[in-house]
Each structure stands twice: as C-alpha cells, then as structure tokens.
C-alpha cells in the first residue's frame, strides 16, 4: 500500500503516478473522505480527552474520601455522544483503509509508459534461437513422442490444466529444481527455505490485494487458508510485523515450492500443454533490503534469474514491463522470456519485481538503525528463478532432435546421473 502521508501531503504526485499506469484516482472523493475523517477524529479525541480528565478527577476525589457525584454527573453526559463518534470514526477509518489497500503501487520514474504488453521494452537478449533442419514440434508433441508427458491421466485425476510426468521427464523436472536451488544457494548467496503451502488471508493481503485477487487463489474450505500461488506469499511474510536491524539486511531466500493458481479469467488461453497450469513448481528468489539498495538489488536479482537460463543454454530476452503491464504491487518489473521453437515465440519464464515499500507497509515489515534513526519500511523484491514447468517446456522444445529424443543441457547432466539424452521410454 502507498504511504498515507504521501497521499495527504502530495496527492497530485500520487494521482500523476497512478495515471501513468492508466489508473484513475478520485482525487475529490478522497479529499472529501479525508476532511470528514479529520473533523470526526478531532471531535472524538476532544471528547475522549474530556472524559479521561474527569475520570481522573473521580479517582482523586475518591482517594481523598470526598464526594464525586458532581463530576460523575458531568462525565455521565459525555458517554452516548462519545460512543456514537467513536463508532462512526472507526467505520470511516475502516473504509479509508480498505480503499487505500486497493490502490496499486506507483511505477518508478524510469519505467516506460505504456498501456499493455505491446509497449514493454526489450532490455537485452541472450542466445540465438536454434536453426532447425526439421519442423520443430511443441513440447506437448515432443513429450507425447517420448511417452513421458501424460495429460489424459492428469485430466482423469484432476481435470484440465494439470499434468503427469513419467520416468526421465519426472526426473528432469526434479533435476531442474535441484539445479536452480544449488546455483542460488552456492553462487548467489541465498538461503534455502522450506515453507507452508497454505497461508492465511492476512498474509495473502500482505503481498497483494486479497480483495482484488481472491478469485485467482484456491481457498481451503472452511478455513482461513489459501493455497499459495507462489512461494512469495509465505516467504515475504517471514518479516511481517517484524522490526529488523539495519545490520540484518539484506535477507536473501530461495524457495522451491508448488504454486497453485485458479487461472480464473484465463479461459481459452494457453489451454494446450504445460504453459498455464493450476499447479506448477517454481524456484523463487527473494530479497529484503535497505530502501536505498533496492534498485541495485533488483538488477542483481534479475541477473541471478538470467544466470539459470544462461547455464541451461536457453535463448531468452529480458523485458522491462511498461507502466500499464505492471503488477498491482510492483514498482518495476523485468520479465524474462524464453524462446519456444514450438510456438515460434518468446514466453515468460520469470518475473522479477521490486515492490519497494509497498508490501512492507501492508505487512508492517520495518527496520531500525538507518540514517533516519527511526523505524521505516524495508524494501522487498522477488523473482522466479525459474518457473520449473516452463523451463521443462523450454528444454523439450529447444533440445528436441529429429529422431524425437531430447538433448539434456550440459549443466543438468550431472543431475540426471550422467544421462545426456532423453529417449522414448
């Protein structure tokens, strides 16, 4: 959420920032609500002060053994009016707060202005798409040809948007997570964590807006628990309601987890194959940093994700999302897009975002010991490093051979017990 002080002191800047994302902000409506709040709060606090003072007098009088009935009569008259004011104020503050939590983050100034993914900006490109001397298949056909990718069984078990992997493909899937975890822990300085795959509504609302995105999540029936759509949900909440020391920063975590997404609103989109599933694995990298370090940390974290693609020899490009394509909580995002010969297109395989203080304010994650001397919100960042299912897709499509087998990237061979090629079972 945005800093309420900023809305009060510099509303035009907020309005302008949101306009860059294509979000209209009701300036007059907000001002009116704020004025109402201010008046009501002053009146309420005045009454409370009066009651407190009189009550204190009662105590003093009674302590001396004197008669307090006159004061009691006076304070008795305050009660009803005060109660009415208090509940009106509470309701108003609740409304203001709920409203505040539905406002998206402001884009950083350097983020390119635009309306949709069409306007995203390519930052760099690595690796050239391979030239095939045969017509490359998509991963569904490659997987089916190997007899190791099975959507029919998955559909029988759980319906659409699930998959079953068998044999060498299941092992490749496991190997990918291990490989990514090893690189991030050994070479990039992240601490591996294992976490719950369900979180409370409060935690969900800490990383994004539960009110806005509830439908994207799977909820556990009869419980205030949601299946996580990414490890960002549990891991970022490590620091909720926490006061850190400046010297503890940065915190760096890497977490492999399944991710569950209802994919509401994506009907008809990517219905074929493993690109868009209700359940997929992801290795997520996260950082909690000093506010002054977050821009730098964002570049670094993005390179950490790119490093995985480099090692796997997969061609990709790095896109800076334009203001209109930015996620709700993000101030700046780089998407990594891997080349998929089967689709003849670059497709998202990682999203690396700097949330600045947006999530930290929502979840009260602060640190102390900075220059300001007082507690202030930390900055949070995260990125996929990488989405495991989509990486598997990329390997199947980029590594496919004319005979239907798939070449394993050299970096993964040790993780597959020396197997260099996946062949029909």
CA distance 367 to 243: 5
Closest separation in Å from C-beta 358 to RNA: 15
Q: Does 92 interact with RNA (rule: CB under 7 A)?
A: no
User: Whole-number minimum distance, CB 93 to RNA, in Å?
Assistant: 9
For residues 301 and 235, give the distance between their C-alpha atoms in angstroms, rounded to a whole number: 16
In this complex, which beta carbon is closest to RNA, that of residue 86 or of residue 263?
A: 86
Contact 37, 125 (CB under 8 A): no
49 near RNA (CB under 7 A): yes
- Which C-beta is closer to RNA: that of 34 or that of 270? 34
Closer of 241 and 296 to RNA (Cβ): 241
Instruction: Given the residues 348, 405, 421, 423, select the one marked as catalytic.
Output: 348
Q: How far is the CB of 222 from RNA (least distance, A)?
A: 11
39/129 with CB nearer RNA: 39
Q: Is 174 considered catalytic here?
A: no
Residue 348: active-site member: yes
Cα distances from 248 to residues 35, 275, 366, 369, 378, in angstroms, run 40, 38, 12, 10, 11
Q: Give the C-alpha distances (Å, rounded to integers) separating 254 from 181, 190, 251, 291, 361.
A: 7, 6, 10, 20, 22
| Residue 88 contacts RNA per CB under 7 A | no
Cβ proximity of 380 and 287 under 8 Å:
yes
Instruction: Please answer whether residues 349 and 390 qualify as being in contact, where contact means their C-beta atoms are separated by less than 8 angstroms.
Output: yes
Rounded CA gap, 29 and 34, in Å? 9
Asked if 112 interacts with RNA (CB under 7 A), we say no
Number of residues that bind RNA (CB under 7 A): 31
Which of residues 44 and 323 has its CB atom nearest to RNA in the complex?
Answer: 44
Q: What binding mask, one character per residue, do residues 330-369 give for RNA by CB under 7 A, x or -?
A: ---------------------------------------x
Which residue of 48, 178, 262, 343 would you call a contact of RNA, by CB under 7 A?
48
For residue 250, cis peptide bond before it (omega within 30 degrees of 0): yes
Output 89-97 pairs: Cβ under 8 A, ≥24 positions apart: 89/37, 89/40, 89/41, 89/44, 92/33, 92/36, 92/37, 92/40, 93/37, 95/33, 96/33, 96/34, 96/37
Q: At what angle do helices 79-100 and 27-64 cross, to 10 degrees?
A: 140
**Contact set for RNA, span 239-278 (CB under 7 A):** 243
Active site residue 261: yes
**Residue 55 binds RNA, judged by CB under 7 A:** yes
User: Beta strand pairing status for 379-387 and 345-356?
Assistant: antiparallel
For residue 86, CA distances in Å to 37, 39, 76 come to: 11, 12, 16
What is the C-alpha separation between 20 and 153, in angstroms, rounded?
46
Widest pairwise Cα distance in the chain: 103
Which of 243/402 has CB closer to RNA?
A: 243
Q: Looking at 46-54, 100-108, 212-220, 295-303, which segment touches RNA (CB under 7 A)?
A: 46-54
Task: State yes or no: residue 375 binds RNA (CB under 7 A).
Answer: yes
Using CB under 7 A, pick the residue from 64, 374, 417, 418 that binds RNA.
Answer: 374
Q: Is 31 in the site for RNA (CB under 7 A)?
A: no
Q: Which of 52, 116, 117, 266 binds RNA (CB under 7 A)?
A: 52
| Helix ranges (DSSP H) in 65-104 | 69-76, 79-100
List residues binding RNA (CB under 7 A).
4-5, 8, 38, 41-42, 44-46, 48-49, 51-56, 58-60, 62-63, 72, 75-76, 79, 90, 243, 369, 374-375
Active-site amino acid positions: 261, 276, 348, 351, 390
């Amino acid at each position: 959420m945005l800093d309420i002080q900023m809305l009060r002191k510099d509303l035009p800047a907020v309005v302008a920032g949101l306009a860059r994302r294509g979000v209209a902000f009701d300036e007059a409506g907000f001002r009116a609500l704020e004025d109402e709040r201010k008046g009501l709060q002053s009146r309420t606090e005045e009454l409370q002060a009066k009651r407190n003072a009189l009550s204190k007098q009662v105590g003093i009088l009674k302590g001396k053994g004197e008669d307090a009935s006159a004061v009691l009569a006076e304070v008795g008259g305050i009660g009803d009016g005060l109660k009415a004011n208090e509940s009106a104020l509470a309701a108003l503050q609740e409304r203001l707060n709920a409203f505040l939590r539905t406002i998206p983050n402001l884009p950083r100034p350097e983020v390119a202005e635009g309306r949709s993914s069409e306007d995203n900006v390519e930052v760099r490109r690595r690796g050239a798409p391979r030239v095939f001397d045969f017509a490359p298949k998509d991963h569904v056909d490659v997987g089916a040809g190997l007899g190791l990718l099975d959507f029919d069984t998955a559909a029988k078990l759980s319906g659409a948007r699930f998959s079953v992997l068998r044999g060498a493909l299941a092992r490749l899937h496991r190997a990918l997570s291990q490989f990514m975890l090893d690189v991030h822990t050994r070479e990039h300085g992240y601490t591996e964590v294992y976490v719950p795959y369900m979180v409370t509504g409060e935690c969900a609302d800490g990383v994004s807006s539960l009110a806005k995105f509830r439908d994207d999540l799977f909820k556990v029936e009869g419980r205030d628990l949601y299946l996580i759509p990414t490890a960002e949900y549990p891991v970022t909440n490590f620091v909720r309601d926490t006061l850190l020391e400046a010297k503890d920063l940065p915190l760096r975590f890497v977490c492999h987890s399944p991710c569950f997404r209802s994919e509401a609103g994506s009907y008809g989109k990517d219905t074929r194959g493993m690109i868009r599933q209700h359940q997929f694995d992801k290795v997520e990298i996260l950082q909690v940093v000093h506010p002054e370090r977050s821009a730098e940390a964002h570049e670094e974290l993005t390179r950490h994700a790119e490093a995985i693609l480099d090692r796997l020899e997969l061609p990709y490009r790095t896109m800076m999302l334009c203001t209109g394509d930015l996620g709700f909580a993000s101030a700046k995002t780089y998407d990594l897009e891997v080349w998929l010969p089967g689709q003849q297109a670059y497709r998202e395989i990682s999203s690396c975002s700097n949330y600045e203080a947006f999530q930290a304010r929502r979840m009260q994650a602060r640190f102390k010991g900075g220059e300001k001397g007082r507690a202030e919100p930390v900055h949070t960042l995260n990125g996929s490093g990488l989405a495991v299912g989509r990486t598997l897709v990329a390997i199947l499509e980029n590594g496919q051979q004319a005979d239907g087998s798939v070449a394993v990237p050299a970096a993964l061979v040790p993780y597959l017990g020396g197997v260099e090629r996946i062949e029909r079972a």
